[in-house]
Amino acid sequence: MGNRALCQGDRTESMLQAEQQIRQRKVTQVNEAVKIDLEKDNKQSLITTSYQNEQLQRSCLNDWLETLHESVLISQINLNCDASTKFLSEVDEEEDIDQTKLSFIDSKEIQEYKKNYPYCNSNLDMVIINFYILKKHEFKLKLLQGPPKQRIRWSCWQLMAYTPKFLICSDGLSFIDQDQKYANAIRKDIHRTVTSSNIKYFETGEGQQDLEKVLLKLSKLFPKLGYCQGMNFLVGFTLIINNKSIDQSLQFLSQMMINPKFMLYYIYSDEMPLVKLLEFICINEIKLRTPDLFNHIFNKLEVNNAIWITKLIMTLFLYNFHINNVCRFWDFLLTNCIFDISAIICSLIDINRNLILKMEDLHQFIQWFDNFQQIELDQFQMDSLIKNCNQFKQKKNKINQYALHFCMQHTIKHPLQQQIAENYENLNKMKEFLKKDIFSC
């Protein structure tokens, strides 16, 4: 009996060792294909992802690489798999169904993808796209957990921001005299662009020039919008994450401006119609989901929206939190949509409910909110916060209903708000509206 148990133990240990060897082989193959480690110097980021120790980061990276193994291009690793003929522009318009597609991107199809997604210019980008197509649900779960390297995060973000069949071309943009008014305003804000105390990039001539180039081109791509204060922080944030890639920052933000899931154009446009609608949704979500906190914050403490909700929406968390925490918030938003800002705000107060409910006056709330923004939440705290966000996520029909109620309560309403009330569940109609409203003279 003892020998049998010993043999069983030996077999179990042998099986574990074999599984470990298989995992390590997968990790090595993917690492060789996408060259993650070789991109440290010129591809990673101006900041690293935050982990308690190097061993934990390595473990998380290996987990990502093992997950990506199935999605490595056939041209890089010779796997016997069927080739997919579905392209990103088609796949992304499908409903989010938790299913596994047993297909791969054939190397011959790479050029077709690049036509639809031209800033996908590395093996890693292509592998990330294939992962998304094969296992959309698993991809989103991995992104919500926080990528172990900023280079992986940036590939995921670019994919999530991309608007199918809606490429914005920035080639050939030139500076003309009429742009001087934007240039003057931009230069006034450039020296105020600080997205992390550890980043000195924007204190240099190179960083300021990169900021100015992206902001000028962005104002030319969207002439009706031009340059708006606050856009400098948005551009600075992307340049930090993607390691100073001007073209990728420009394309990423352009896509975020026009993508019906995000519509950042209307955060900055006249009357700020998206800000007003998001604020309305946040307040009503707090009232619906956490009525005790709503009564305490808005009735007892009489907290003004401008102190926190409006501020968080207009800045997209960029002025308010440590950059590593902002990255996790953006992971969540890019996985979902701009309207799930309400989920983050609800989660923030929900996990701090005991502290908030003990507050006696407005001053205590302001002091807590200011102090909370200054600390860097550790990985465990961020994991808990993001996990908690999931219970506050909204479906498209709920967003429709909120927009409809908003329009019914306001006699003067912006066309965007009306359009969301009528068509937010129809992304094609939303895309047509955005294209006409943003780019028509």
> Residues 35-63: pLDDT tens digits?
765 455 455 567 777 776 777 878 888 88
Mean pLDDT of 393-417: 94
User: Which residues, in sequence order, are bridge partners of residue 313?
Assistant: none
pTM strictly above 0.75? yes
Quote the pLDDT of residue 10.
Answer: 59
Q: Is the pLDDT of residue 9 over 70?
A: no
Q: 45-49, 95-99, 435-439 — which one is most confidently predicted on average?
A: 435-439
Hey, how many other C-beta atoms are within 10 angstroms of the C-beta on 263?
23
CA distances from 286 to 61, 345, 391, 396, 406 (A): 36, 8, 12, 18, 16
> Residues 15-24: pLDDT tens digits?
777 777 878 8
Rg (CA), the chain: 23
Q: Is the pLDDT of residue 305 over 90?
A: yes
Are 419 and 430 in contact by the 8 Å Cβ rule? The answer is yes
Q: Which domains does the chain have, with CATH numbers?
A: 25-161 (no CATH), 177-267 (1.10.8.270), 273-394 (1.10.472.80)
Q: Is the pLDDT of residue 79 over 70?
A: no
Which residue would you say has higher pLDDT here, 36 or 389? Answer: 389
Quote the pLDDT of residue 175.
Answer: 55
Q: 226-240, 331-345, 372-386 — which one is most confidently predicted on average?
A: 331-345
Mean pLDDT of 368-387: 91
> What is the C-alpha separation between 190 and 184, in angstroms, rounded?
10
Quote the pLDDT of residue 82.
Answer: 36
Query: Helix, strand or coil for residue 288?
Result: helix
Quote the pLDDT of residue 171.
Answer: 59
Mean pLDDT of 400-427: 93
User: Locate tokens 């041209």: which residue?
Assistant: 75
* Residues of the chain above pLDDT 90, percent: 45
> What is the C-alpha separation between 251 and 230, in angstroms, rounded?
18
Mean pLDDT of 377-382: 90
Phi/psi region, residue 120 (left: phi>0; alpha: psi -120 to 50; beta: rest), is beta
Both structure tokens of 383: 């994991």
Give the model's confidence band at 66: pLDDT under 50 very low, under 70 low, under 90 confident, else very high.
confident
Per-chain mean pLDDT for the chain: 81
CA distances from 215 to 173, 325, 395 (A): 12, 24, 33
Q: Is the pLDDT of residue 93 over 80?
A: no
Helices 427-439 and 415-423 cross at an angle (nearest 10°) of 170
* Residues of the chain above pLDDT 70, percent: 78
Query: Helix, strand or coil for residue 237?
Result: helix
Give the model's confidence band at 363: pLDDT under 50 very low, under 70 low, under 90 confident, else very high.
very high
CA distances from 166 to 113, 115, 257, 431 (A): 13, 11, 12, 9
- Give the lowest-confidence range in 76-80, 155-159, 242-246, 329-333: 76-80
Quote the pLDDT of residue 441.
Answer: 62
> Residues 224-268: pLDDT tens digits?
998 988 898 899 999 999 888 898 899 899 999 999 999 999 999
Which residue would you say has higher pLDDT here, 81 or 412? Answer: 412
Cβ contacts of 206 within 8 Å, gap of 6 or more: 244
Q: Is the pLDDT of residue 132 over 80?
A: yes
